[in-house]
Chain A
Amino acid sequence: MTPARQRALGVATLLALGAFAVLALLISPKDSRHGDAVRLLYVHAPTAWTAYLAYVVAAIASAMWLWPRTRRPSWDHLAGAAAEFGVLSTGLTLFLGSVWAKESWGTWWQWEARLTTTAVLFFVYLGYLALRRLGGPGAERRNAIAALLAVVQVPIVHFSVTWWRSIHQEGSVFNQRGEVEINDATMQWALWSGVIAFTLLFLWCCLLRMRTLELESSAAETALDAAIRERVGTVNA
């Protein structure tokens, strides 16, 4: 992507975030039961969406790297960039979910299926990022396989946790107090503008991060050229 388009995406992201802030904080009304706290959901839901989006993007990018015909370093960079954003989003989702739980159920944590799944995934992808940090020869293949192994866990974790909670029959509690019916048009606008703004933010951050990863690897290649010259130079000297 050209720098101009990247800048355009940046501007669009900032505009969307601004519009989202106005819609979510100023225009949309208080909720009848939860008051201003409902505004937490306008961030909580979009970050949860971008978290899962990021993990899927990381998995697709990893598959593209593994597939010999589409193998390019930028796929590995995209996987890394997306996973980093995903972990950040997941952390934010958990934090806001926790605050929301305190507001609506009076406890900081509920063993609710979606929240529990997200918490497990947070640590799965934290491990993936720890793996990526190690680098070294062959790291791209290792990282790509690890990302695919991780994404397969998403439905398994979700399914097992859902089953666990449904057997305990505590699901109904959430319907009584935790769920919010967002029928008001401006509330829906706030929520959807959040989804759009955070999706744009995700794309923009990915592009920026890919660019730095690309520069890092080209710097490494330049350093390698110098190292090769130095090593071969000792022979001729």
Chain B
Amino acid sequence: MTLVEEAVLVAAKDLRIEAHARVVMTQVLPFGVVVLLLFAFALDPDRGVLPVVAPGLFWVAVLLSSLLAVSRSFAIEADHGARDGLRLSGLDGAAIFLGKAAAIAVQLLVLEVVLLIGVFVLYDVDPRGLAVLVVAGVLATTAIAALGVTYGVLAAGMRVRETLVPLLVLPITMPVLLGATRAFEFALADDLGPAWRWTSLIAMITTVTITLGVLSFESLLEEA
């Protein structure tokens, strides 16, 4: 099997598990929407700040949800020695990384569509610059998923996994959050030049994070 075939196999496995168990769609997705609502309560919709800060709130909600999605992705490998099964399987570590990251990215993208509709409806934001939203959104989501899987496997076998992963992942996602928020801000303001420039920054970060994950995942899986 080629690397891509192996990655597709792993991604299909994770997505099939989600299709059967529906943990992300019935737990993480509502969580993300609740976070959007909490921001509205905290910032008071009547003061008119919500439309201004909507992109930032959206991406913070996505980041927090992504932590849960990563946690779920490694919870399914924790039962019945599944992680040992993966190590013994003969699959390339890079393929496992790409597959798991792709599965998380797909689930997050579904979540983001729902959250984005929530932002348009709840925060009174007009949808504009859709092309940027899609491209920047997909790239940033891929980077977040890649970082989550890299640090998720680093902590996979640990008792403190649930508390350590957020500390490791969140500071490092800062450039992605910054880039995605700016890109969305400019896109929603119909200022496409800067929006694409920020999108190119995200593209660079995504490339770096995927490279790092491909290089390090196999070793980290061995020590997990």
Residues of A with Cβ closer than 8 Å to B? Answer: 120-121, 123-124, 126-127, 130-131, 134, 137-139, 141-142, 145-146, 148-150, 152-153, 156-157, 159-161, 163-164, 167
**A167 smallest CB distance to B (angstroms):** 7
Q: Which of A123, A159, A160, A161 is in CB contact (< 8 Å) with B171? A: A123
Q: Which one of B10-18, B70-78, B174-182 is at the A interface?
A: B174-182
Q: Which of A121, A141, A160 is in CB contact (< 8 Å) with B219? A: A141
Q: Which residues of B contact A123 (CB under 8 A)?
A: 167, 170-171
A156–B182 touching, CB < 8 Å: no
Q: Which of B158, B168, B174, B194 is in CB contact (< 8 Å) with A157? A: B174
B220–A131 touching, CB < 8 Å: no
Would you mind naming 29 contact pairs between A and B with Cβ atoms under 8 Å apart?
Answer: A120-B171, A121-B171, A123-B170, A124-B171, A127-B164, A127-B167, A127-B168, A130-B164, A130-B167, A131-B155, A131-B168, A134-B160, A138-B222, A141-B219, A141-B223, A142-B154, A142-B220, A142-B223, A145-B216, A145-B219, A145-B220, A152-B212, A153-B172, A157-B174, A160-B201, A160-B205, A164-B182, A167-B182, A167-B194
Q: Which residues of A contact B179 (CB under 8 A)?
A: 160
Q: State the interface size on chain B (CB cutoff 8 A).
A: 26
A156–B223 touching, CB < 8 Å: no
Q: Which residues of A contact B158 (CB under 8 A)?
A: 134
Given contacts A131-B154, A131-B164, A142-B154, contact A149 B216 (CB under 8 A): yes
- Give the secondary structure class of A's interface: helix
Cβ of B141 within 8 Å of any chain A Cβ, yes or no, is no
A138 to B220 CA separation, bound complex (whole angstroms): 9
Closest partner residue, chain A, to B172 (CB atom): A153
A231 to B205 CA separation, bound complex (whole angstroms): 51
**B189 smallest CB distance to A (angstroms):** 13
Cβ of B199 within 8 Å of any chain A Cβ, yes or no, is no
Q: Which residues of A contact B223 (CB under 8 A)?
A: 137-139, 141-142
Cβ of B65 within 8 Å of any chain A Cβ, yes or no, is no
